[in-house]
A and B are shown apart, each in its own frame.
Chain A
Amino acid sequence: MEYRTDRLSRAFSALADPTRRTILARLAVSEATVSELMAPFELSQPTISKHLKVLEDAGLIERGRDAQRRPRKLVAVALKDVADWVEPFRSQWEGRLDNLDRHLAAMSKKEKQHVTKGPSARQKRPSR
């Protein structure tokens, strides 16, 4: 249990950095070598390597079998641990903010209707 908590803490620290999250998102698509990871992120090789080491220490990624290319790949189980822990909260807020997004769209539409219809139309609406 203690081991699991420690690993979760390391995973969360690793995930706190936006570059590392982007790297993980890229690795979620397929495994990639260090040079393949460098190109889209415009980061130097030492910087990428540093980020990869943090992710590896946190158990979130591992090295693939190809000894020559040494591709990195995602450790799906480790990510699932993190996701399970935070997923109910995330999904609750995602739902809530999806609602907010729709509600704001409806608010904007109403305001536009007020503008186009002018003050006489506005008076006919029930006041708040």
Chain B
Amino acid sequence: MLLKDPARAKSDLVVDREAHAIVLTRMFAASREQVFAAWTRPEHVKCWWDPTGRPLAECEIDLRPGGAFRFVNQQTGATHQFVGLYREIAPPDYLVFEVMGATGRVVLDEIGGKTRLTVRIECGSATHLEQYLKMGIDAGTAKTLDNLVAYIGATQN
């Protein structure tokens, strides 16, 4: 969604105000195992987490129930770090974590040889949901993917 430019947006975003939840879905031409690894291994996460395409400055993952994770963007630094705890880890089906008082659920479904990724972020209240959505503003809107393209180019050569 949100219909701003339907041709360009590849992800579907639904805001369920009654459940205080945000649900994102997107298809990937990769196996569930690959997508799960991309979400849970630091050497992968650090390559794609920052929307600007820069590699993360820090990426720590303690992949076990109760284990912590910490993602720090180069640009925003530790003031806007993404810190949370893993709750459930079930490769390659799903991953549950808690971050900033919200529960994140990553669910992977195989559909016709591809993987459908569903990211569901559940907040405690409508106010919490608004706060969560507003945090996106801090991350900056400029999307420069040049760095990531350069990174992928470098690893393939």
**Chain A: residues with CB nearer than 8 A to chain B?**
9, 12-13, 15-16, 21, 24-25, 28, 79, 82-83, 85-110, 128
Query: Are B152 and A86 in contact, with the CB atoms below 8 A?
Result: no
For chain A, what secondary structure do more than half of its interface residues adopt (helix, strand, loop), or is it mixed?
Answer: helix
State in angstroms the CA–CA spacing of A87 and B143 once bound together: 14
Query: Are B48 and A103 in contact, with the CB atoms below 8 A?
Result: yes
Least distance between A103 CB and chain B CB atoms (Å): 4
Query: Are B149 and A86 in contact, with the CB atoms below 8 A?
Result: no
Query: Are A103 and B152 in contact, with the CB atoms below 8 A?
Result: yes
Query: Are A95 and B51 in contact, with the CB atoms below 8 A?
Result: yes
Query: Are B14 and A15 in contact, with the CB atoms below 8 A?
Result: yes
Q: Choose from A16, A79, A104 the contact partner of B28 (Cβ within 8 Å).
A: A104
Query: Are A15 and B6 in contact, with the CB atoms below 8 A?
Result: no
Least distance between B16 CB and chain A CB atoms (Å): 6
Query: Are B51 and A102 in contact, with the CB atoms below 8 A?
Result: no
Ordered by A's residue number, 17 sampled pairs between the chains whose C-beta atoms are within 8 Å are A79-B4, A87-B2, A89-B132, A93-B24, A93-B119, A97-B11, A97-B117, A98-B145, A99-B50, A99-B145, A100-B38, A102-B48, A102-B148, A103-B152, A104-B34, A104-B35, A108-B29
Query: Are B156 and A98 in contact, with the CB atoms below 8 A?
Result: no
Least distance between A121 CB and chain B CB atoms (Å): 15
Least distance between B80 CB and chain A CB atoms (Å): 11
Query: Are A83 and B4 in contact, with the CB atoms below 8 A?
Result: yes
Residues of A within 8 A of B34 (CB): 104, 107-108
Residues facing A in B31-58 (CB within 8 A) are 34-35, 37-38, 43-44, 47-53
Residues facing A in B130-156 (CB within 8 A) are 132-137, 139, 141, 143, 145, 148-149, 152, 155-156
Known: A93-B11, A103-B44. A21 touches B3 (CB 8 A): yes
Residues of A within 8 A of B156 (CB): 106, 109-110
